[in-house]
Amino acid sequence: MTSYRAAEAALPRRCAVPPYMLEELDRSARTLARADQVRGPDLGHVLELDEQVRAARHRGLLPRRAISAPSGTLDRTISDARNTEELPGVTVRSEGQPPVQDAAVNEAYDGIGSVHTFLEEIYRQSSLDGTGLGLLATVHFGRRYDNAFWDGTQMVFGDGDGEIFTGFTPSLSVIGHELGHGLMQYSTDLDYEGQSGALNESFSDVLGALVDQYARGQTAPEASWLIGAEVFGEGVQARGLRSMAAPGTAYDDPRLGRDPQPAHMDGFVVTEADYGGVHVNSGIPNKAFHLAALALGGHAWERAGQVWFDVVIGEGLPRNVDFAGFAEATVVAARARFGDGVAGTVGGAWRQVGVLTGDPEPA
């Protein structure tokens, strides 16, 4: 086993809970402590670990592998860190074994299976690398660890503090989001900074939402479009970590603050924090996807999702692509697969959020 700190930097790690949310929660906890009130979860260590996560992600990524023909293999291994920071921990359930007594183990096993099934049945993609890559996860990471992340090789789940966050394995959209980072890693692998980093985060939200909708059998208008609706404790004024339908409205809580995501380029946040605001500005491409999916109707994975998937696994997208470049690529991909009508709808969605401007391009 290797410790989280010792393994630190060579691998890219991507967290579900954005840093601005944890920072606000930490400020609130410190205020309560100064007022001699009951202190909330101690987030200093969580923030320290998450900064290592983001720094490792920013410094460099694993070598990419080409997407190849699907093999149809599903191979899951779930381990238990037993509240240490040692990874991967002790194996507690492997592929084909029956459920165990630990709910987090079973939720991780089932959630990862749902993502694999979605990729294979909808996009004919076998696992994250297209060749049946084994899917690993560790539960019970750390003590009261308020996050879940993809570390470049596996998923890792904290248990939450039991007050604000009650665990991350119950949320299929969170599991889909984190495995979306793995899929991105083995395909286009967009640079994790600025607009390309926000697109990296947004694509993971897209996959998380689509997997959740597929499991529920929901059409685009029926879906909540929330990421992480299941992770909060009782009394927390939050509908989710993010809302793709209405960025900026997912939560408004005295301890968490207010959701800062913009839904339009008019609100684009210029910042040096979080590698150029990769978590906050992802609200803009998220909203564009939501608009495209609603306008196209039916199940979001059928057309809008297929277009985004085609772009991400394609070979022509620069790793440092900006919003406009990605938008143009989706229009081209939509026309290639579905024709001018869908291409026009996709371009219109990007114009509604201010990424593309001017009249639609001629067919």
Catalytic residues: 178, 279
Q: Which residue has the tokens 């987090």?
A: 104
Q: Which residue has the tokens 């408004």?
A: 252
> Where are the strands (E) in the chain, listed by range?
2-3, 14-15, 76-80, 86-87, 90-94, 135-139, 148-150, 155-157, 226-227, 242-243, 252-253, 257-258
Task: Read off φ and ψ for residue 153, nearest 5 degrees.
Answer: -130, -25
Max intra-chain CA distance, the chain? 66
Q: Which among 248, 279, 40 has a CA at the least distance from the CA of 164?
A: 40
Tokens of 113: 């299976």
CB 306 within 8 A of CB 233: no
CB 88 within 8 A of CB 41: no
Angle of helix 340-352 relative to helix 323-338, nearest 10 degrees, comes to: 160
Q: Classify burial at 46, counting beta carbons within 10 Å of its beta carbon; exposed 0-12, middle 13-18, buried 19 or more.
A: buried
Q: For residue 99, what are the contacts with CB-CB under 8 A and spacing of at least 6?
A: 93, 106, 109
Q: Which among 262, 265, 269 has a CA at the least distance from the CA of 283?
A: 262
Pairing of the two strands 2-3 and 86-87: antiparallel
CA–CA distance, 69 with 28 (Å, rounded to integer): 50
CB 251 within 8 A of CB 240: yes
Which residues on adjacent β-strands are paired with residue 148? 157
CB 135 within 8 A of CB 128: yes
